[in-house]
Amino acid sequence: MRIAVIRKGCGLNRGGAERYCANLCRCMAELGHEVYVLAEDCDATLHPAIMHVPVVSKGLTSSALNRSFHVNAQKVLATLKVDRVYALSRSWPADAFRVSDPLHSIWLELRYPGRVRNFLERLNPRNRAILDLEKNICTPAHTKVIIANSMLVKKQLLAAYPFPADRIRVVYNGVDLEKFSPKRNSWPRRELQLLFVAQDFRRKGLAIVLEVLAGLKAAALSCRLKVVGGDERRPFVRLAKVLGVTGEVDFVGPSRAVEDCYRAADLLVFPTRSDPFANVCLEALACGCPVVTTSMNGAAEILKEGETGFVVDEGPDMAAQMAARIMAFEALSPDRRKKMKMDCRRSAEPFTILRNARETLAILEDL
């Protein structure tokens, strides 16, 4: 097939959604398909059968840029002869749309639960633009099939939009099992090594992680937190100072070898408030690193409580819940931790990029 994939960014050394797009496109190309990536930027060396078709977004505001990408992607698409259109960003019409980012309608409800504040936020030009694009891509007349990467997302879609349930398919993410693999040797450490990996520190819950770290310090549990990602760190550096954990936190910025960070960690702590399926969790599992996350993360569906990680409920006591899980982990024997690492790796092995690509292609071929 000749497949057009729409996504603002596509690259292996970027955020989870962009890395997913790159892996999917490369795998589809390796399976013999011609892939056209309609994006603002795309890695040039993914595969010879992948063609980057540049989309230029113009505007001075976030709302203008979001609308511009959609409009210009559709203009570029009109010049191509393709068999299927697969949107990984909010641009319609499309044969299939994959929910790569949190549903904005759901996120606003979570972020602003108060009726008045929620109403006012929905009038914000940026939020109005995203909601309008989302509403259109989730309209049955504009999209034949929606691919959700978790049951959580499917439930959220059915709650937010009148899209037929039988046209929503669940395809879990895949991970590069060669790149993301456990290290062969490990040794006991004096401090518990915690890891947080994200590009959006606020939504992914870094403030909660710092609060957890302060609680663990007060409980005399020796921990060190490594924060990986390219988001603005200054507000969180200040918060760490206020909480008295500046000496326990390392802000290392973006990493081109994030797999080494997973291998060096005892736990990935990821208290996201909303995530369709955070691929960092699957990457961590593949490296043998257990995960502590929330029930509002679709990746929680592949965790086994106490065996490959821990799931806490979103709410005001989330920090206390996470601290309790971390302390329970710290109390495990070395043999139990070793088994947990092995269980993590085994749990990730079914979720290959090839499996994800084949399930996605099967859906596209049936349209």
pLDDT for res 185: 55
pLDDT for res 246: 96
Chain segment 14-37, per-residue pLDDT in tens: 777 898 999 999 999 999 999 999
Domain count, the chain: 2
> Are 196 and 129 found together in one domain?
no
67 close to 136: Cβ distance less than 8 angstroms: no
Closest CA relative to residue 240, chosen from 230, 232, 231, 250: 250
pLDDT for res 315: 84
Taking 70 as the pLDDT cut, the residues of the chain under it are 184-189
Residue 268 placed within a domain: yes
87 close to 98: Cβ distance less than 8 angstroms: yes
pLDDT for res 188: 56
**Which CATH number characterizes residue 28's domain?**
3.40.50.2000
pTM passes above 0.95: no
Residue 182 placed within a domain: no
69 close to 8: Cβ distance less than 8 angstroms: yes
pLDDT for res 29: 97
> Are 109 and 226 found together in one domain?
no
Residue 51 placed within a domain: yes
pLDDT for res 177: 96
Residue 186 placed within a domain: no
> Can you say whether the dihedral through the CA atoms of 345, 347, 352, 356 is positive or negative?
negative
Compute the distance between CA of residue 17 and CA of residue 11 in angstroms, rounded to an integer. Answer: 9
pLDDT for res 184: 64
pLDDT for res 227: 97
State which residues form the domain around 16: 2-174+352-366
pLDDT for res 232: 94
